Structure 1
Amino acid sequence: MAYTADNWPITAALLQFPGVDAQGRHINDAEPEAWQRVFTEVREAGFTDVDFTDSWVRPGDLSAARLDELKAAARAAGVGTPAISAIRRSVIEEAGWEDNLAYSHRTLEAAAALGCEVVSFGLHQALTPQQQAQLWFWTVEGHKDPVGDAATWKLAVERLRELGRHAEELGLLVSLEMYEDTYLGTADSAVALVKDIGLPNVGLNPDIGNLIRLHRPIESWVEMLEKTLPYSNYWHVKNYIRDEDIARDYFVAMPAPLESGLISYRKAFEIALANGFQGVICTEHYGGDGLSVSSSNQRYLREQILPKRAGYALGESQVRQGNQD
């Protein structure tokens, strides 16, 4: 049965929680009580599900026993665990692709152990020192995948297909996060990559917030969604206020609540439903009290945007969707 506003799985991204504690210890090495405190904070903010954003905990680097503890901590706090977002571990990174690919496989195994249904991967790489020095890292250009390089494109297809096949064996979906200057950096390129991979359980995470925030000319957000949502199976949603004056080469963007930014999520979900989207949604926000803004975003989606009743018109997706149990 298709999701409605009441039961659509909406997760909180854990971007606001540091991966290192006050003693300089990675959160992977923390006691389960520390994990449970984070999950409880998220639950008290109004969420019943979390995305294991691996800038916080890295499930792919936990032992089986520690994964059991992580799962128990989430259960004790009353939150579900449908998704992992593994970020900045590109499988075509020149120097580190082997480690990144191995980590991605471990993340899939961890996702299965945690009872997830989807893992989001990307081709974006670590922030440069120049990006790290900015208030908003996206105002400085970072890594760029080589344009028109058939050999590198082929490696991306082969390695992501390898992950997709592993995910299929584990009963998981793979979602590929859109991000600037990578092979997932434009709507056409992202769709072409999914088509070349050619697996029904591999789709897109149409996180076009990553693109509308750029301080340069961008694609139309409506056209990006019209092209990518037929191939989407998970969705990081966030928004930005944007202003531009092309004649003066002036562009600026800042984080905003979903209902206040450039993207109309009312229109976005109209396109999504027309193309059969039934994936998990993850709310993200940078800056300030990001968890509270994400919580407000969840309420906005449930109260204003998502369908209130079953039986609504739902199109057909080009990729496999989530579990509507």
Structure 2
Amino acid sequence: MSYEPSSQLYTRANWPIAAAMINYPGTLPDGSSVQDQSAEEWAATLEDVADAGFTELDPTDAWLRVADLSDSRLDEFMSVVHGKGLTIPGISTSRKNLIHPEKGAEHVEYAHRVIDTAAKIGAQSVCFGFFDLLTPAQQKALWFWTVDGDKAPADKDTWNLAVSRVKELGKHAAEVGLELALEMYEDTYMGTADSSVEFVQDVDLPNVGICADLGNLVRLHRPVEHWWSMMEKVAPFARYWHVKNYLRTEDETTGAIVTAPIPLEFGVINYRAAIRKALEYGFNSPFLCENYGGDGLSISGRNRAYLRRILPRERMKA
């Protein structure tokens, strides 16, 4: 098996739109891990996902590391997933920086397990990144993105190491028929539209593209490139797409910038326009709905319904 773009073009009726599990902790109040929960406990959580209107989910490894489950436990988990009427179109990793100074090699090995697991369960996509764990100051903040985190090394040798590691992962993903998306995130090699495009062009594999998570950038309390300018640049390379939106207010008289999470259709990013731009380049990958704060799952469910309204009814190959 090798990577081939899907011959079936998704429409609003069947487009995979997954729920992210970022609203559920991986460590429970009693100190136990979701990794060790029973099938019945997993089912209780996934019932929330189904009740929010989703037919797909991404387990998102901040909640559950499916790649670290034994074969029998993975089978058990997938039985729960299917029992709730759900499928998994993609697996995302969170804060497993592929070039972390101490743990980068370990994260790459883990990423290989994610790829094998994604192929085993019938997913289409995997998503990796270069962003680290939250710093203590970020953990204390109401919104972690209002505090600067770690920054990617500026030297070319580390950039080349990152390219080499992604190329290794991309080739593995292609061998098992998967696409690989790299998540846009501030102060990493995917921290701007220009650097994201440059990076995937350096990797130069047809199945490796950009997770155009513009929300990660427009939420910053600092000047950023306009979302439309970013979208125009990354649209040709868009793959598995994490979508979320933010209110963003900029006061030109004082320089103050304030952001906050908001449902997809109300934020500063016009997703109707952004998606149409990606469609011009044949975008045909799953979406992942995310939202921080409050009942993020319910807001993600609302965002799913919004996407269903604006996605095309029909599509034809060019």
Structure 2 gaps, min length 5: 1-7
Distance apart, 1:239 and its partner CA: 0.3
CA distance in 2, matches of 1:286, 1:269: 22
Aligned equivalent of 1:290: 296
CA distance in 1, matches of 2:86, 2:9: 22
Q: For residues 276-287 of structure 1, what are the structure 2 equivalents within 5 Å?
A: 276-287=282-293
TM-score (norm 2): 0.95
Aligned equivalent of 1:319: none
**TM-align CA RMSD:** 1.2
CA distance in 2, matches of 1:309, 1:108: 31
Amino acid at match of 1:132: Q
Amino acid at match of 1:183: Y
CA contact (8 A) 1:13 1:284 kept: yes
Aligned equivalent of 1:318: none
Amino acid at match of 2:66: P
1:172-192, CA deviations, whole angstroms, 9 ceiling, x for partnerless residues?
111100000000000010011
Runs of 4+ residues deviating >3 angstroms: none
Q: Does 1:204 align with 2:210?
A: yes
Aligned equivalent of 2:254: 248
Distance apart, 1:102 and its partner CA: 1.3
Query: 34, 37, 40: which one pairs with 1:27?
Result: 34
Over the matched positions of the two proteins, sequence identity in percent amounts to 49
Amino acid at match of 1:83: G
Distance apart, 1:77 and its partner CA: 0.9
Query: 287, 293, 312: which one pairs with 1:307?
Result: 312
Equivalent pairs counted in the alignment come to: 311
Amino acid at match of 1:113: K
Aligned equivalent of 2:5: none
Distance apart, 1:44 and its partner CA: 1.2
TM-score (norm 1): 0.93
SS of 1:116's equivalent in the other structure is coil
Q: Does 1:228 align with 2:234?
A: yes
Distance apart, 1:21 and its partner CA: 2.4
CA contact (8 A) 1:176 1:203 kept: yes
Structure 1 gaps, min length 5: 316-325
CA contact (8 A) 1:67 1:113 kept: no
Q: For residues 181-200 of structure 1, what are the structure 2 equivalents within 5 Å?
A: 181-200=187-206
CA distance in 2, matches of 1:169, 1:33: 35
Aligned equivalent of 1:111: 118
CA distance in 2, matches of 1:55, 1:246: 37
SS of 1:243's equivalent in the other structure is strand
Query: 73, 80, 85: which one pairs with 2:80?
Result: 73
Amino acid at match of 1:234: Y
